[in-house]
Amino acid sequence: MKQEETRVGQYNLPSWNKFEKMVDGIWDRKYYTNHGPLLQELETKLSELCNVKHAIGMTNSHIALMISAKALNVEGEVIIPSFSNIMLSQSVIWAGAKPTFTDVEVGKPHIDPDQILLNVNSESSAIFSSNLWGDFGDMERINKIARDNNLKTLYLSEDAFGQSYDEIPCGNYNDVVIFSFEESNIINGADCACVCTNDDELAARIRNIRSSYGSGPKVSIPYTGNGRLSEIQAGLALLSLEDIDENINNNKDKYGKYEEVIKNIPGISLYTASNKVTNQNYQNIVVLIDEPKYGLSAKELSNIFATKNIETLDFSTYGTSPNSPFESISDMPNTSNFQRNALRLPNNQNLTNTQIELIGSIIKNANKK
């Protein structure tokens, strides 16, 4: 197996001719960034696809999180899932608030509403959470808790672009939803991102902090930062949008093949989304390991794959301190379980059924002495 064919993630790229034509247009216009025509077209299309009033392009999801946290005026404590990308807690600290780590549900990598209720106090100002692995948390309960306690809500939904929950497109359930178009996601925008909101005033604050002149009304903000999305990023994302249906169908076929090759392996199960999720993009293939039954942890299995030049991704850096990816957050049993026993498998344009069969065979035999 070639390493470039077994990377984790999508890496969906347009044809070179399409890409070259797009770049030629940028050079002809001599308009490279600062809310250019391609970004305006991208924001319009994303707004329509996500059925939201505002889709605001950002240079990457880390910057999008930081700017959104500041625009939401969070203070005091922000409740976040302990099982999440470290950038979620770091953005809270950067905005001047304190993250309150909250365990996830049993069997699901999403923040547990019961644990949220235990952590809400007079200092709480917001709930920041994540939608992972093509699935959603318990949106109804979380939003009810937020309404009852006057808390703002933000969801980092890197894995959920194009999907719906209870037939409502993701992007409409919270004050802010952030999608990543990092190159390993279903939409490849060279690491760019999008912030969705239906709040006009909040959108204006986000745009002004992002600092793109002429992109909306001026409002009072604490300061500006450069979160502008370049024209070449916007152009690549637009080309990626053209192929999204084909790429989703390709992902779905691969997901089905993975189901087939691992279905009878003791201690191994494929993570599946809730039946409330529709228009699933299938970009992530995640297996859950019952370590006592299977005999290996995710890290141990990942190391075996590495010896065969196959890239996988464990989640050991999730559930860690915002100051160090090597210091785990304590007293979070469900988070600790996912850290140790969840593994993301390859899924990209060039992956073949034969290669998936080989991956299944490695999983089947890796624990044999």
- For residue range 190-237, what is the model confidence (pLDDT) as tens digits? 999 999 999 999 999 999 999 877 777 888 888 788 899 999 999 999
Strand pairing category for 152-156 and 176-181? parallel
Query: What Cα–Cα distance (Å) separates residue 68 from each residue in 63, 154, 209, 220, 229?
Result: 8, 8, 9, 15, 15
The string over 230-265, giving b where at least 16 C-beta atoms fall within 10 Å of a residue's C-beta and e elsewhere, is bbbbbbbbbbbbebbeebbebbeebbebbeebbeeb
The two tokens of residue 249 are 């169908």
113 touches 146 (CB < 8 A): no
pLDDT of residue 226: 85
Separation of alpha carbons 171 and 162, rounded Å: 9
pLDDT number for residue 4 = 47
297, 341 in Cβ contact below 8 A?
A: yes
Residues of the chain with pLDDT under 70: 1-5, 369
The Cα 287–Cα 342 span in angstroms is 6
Task: Output phi, psi for 77, to 5 deg.
Answer: -120, 140
How do strand 324-328 and strand 176-181 relate by DSSP bridges? unpaired
Nearest to 289 by CA among 277, 276, 278, 305: 305
pTM of full prediction above 0.85? yes
Determine the pLDDT at residue 218: 83
- Per-residue pLDDT of 285-314, as tens digits, reads 999 999 999 999 999 999 999 999 999 999
The pLDDT of residue 1? 42
Angle at 135 between CA 137 and CA 244, to 5 degrees: 140
How many Å apart are CA 206 and CA 141, to the nearest integer? 27
Please tell me the predicted confidence (pLDDT) of residue 301: 96
